[in-house]
């Protein structure tokens, strides 16, 4: 595989239910987790569901980090998708575990990229290629 990125899928259980239902806390925790990983934050959006639960995404220059919470189960599903070698998604993951008050964390790591060929890491942001000029009919 020609690796472009690393994708961690994390299941956090036994979390603090008040935290999982607080928009301000979840936003602050996910943004700080991105910072802890060394990511460059571009933007973020969060939504609080009725009667409870949250979803949010932090767009980073190196991809994204997202969360979905189920306070009624003390559960949060979090994705850490990063590209390049500079960002460490495991730092974000461990930060989240601690600040969600999670008693257990299960993770899966998936390498993302182009299948086939020899194993190698592709540059995150290679130099732009000149675009081909197209004639418009």
User: Which one of 63, 64, 93, 102 is the catalytic residue?
Assistant: 63
- Annotation marks residue 15 as catalytic: no
- Annotation marks residue 68 as catalytic: yes
- Annotation marks residue 99 as catalytic: no
User: Which one of 83, 93, 99, 102 is the catalytic residue?
Assistant: 83
Structure tokens at 88: 């460490």
Strand, helix or coil for residue 66: strand
Residue 84 phi, psi dihedral angles, 5° rounding: 85, 175
Selection from 47, 42, 54 nearest residue 17 by Cα: 54
User: Which one of 7, 48, 68, 94 is the catalytic residue?
Assistant: 68
Angle (nearest 5°) at CA 98 between 58 and 55 = 35
**What residues act catalytically?**
63, 68, 83
């Amino acid at each position: 595989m020609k690796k472009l990125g690393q994708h961690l899928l994390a299941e956090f259980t036994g979390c603090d239910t008040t935290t999982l239902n607080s928009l301000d806390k979840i936003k602050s925790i996910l943004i700080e987790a991105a910072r802890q990983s060394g990511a460059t934050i571009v933007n973020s959006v969060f939504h609080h569901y009725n009667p409870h639960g949250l979803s949010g995404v932090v767009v980073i220059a190196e991809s994204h980090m997202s969360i979905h919470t189920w306070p009624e189960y003390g559960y949060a599903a979090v994705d850490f998708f990063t590209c390049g070698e500079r960002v460490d998604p495991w730092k974000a993951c461990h930060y989240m575990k601690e600040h969600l008050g999670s008693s257990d964390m299960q993770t899966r790591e998936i390498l993302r990229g182009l299948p086939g060929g020899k194993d190698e890491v592709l540059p995150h942001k290679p130099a732009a290629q000149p675009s081909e000029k197209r004639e418009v009919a």
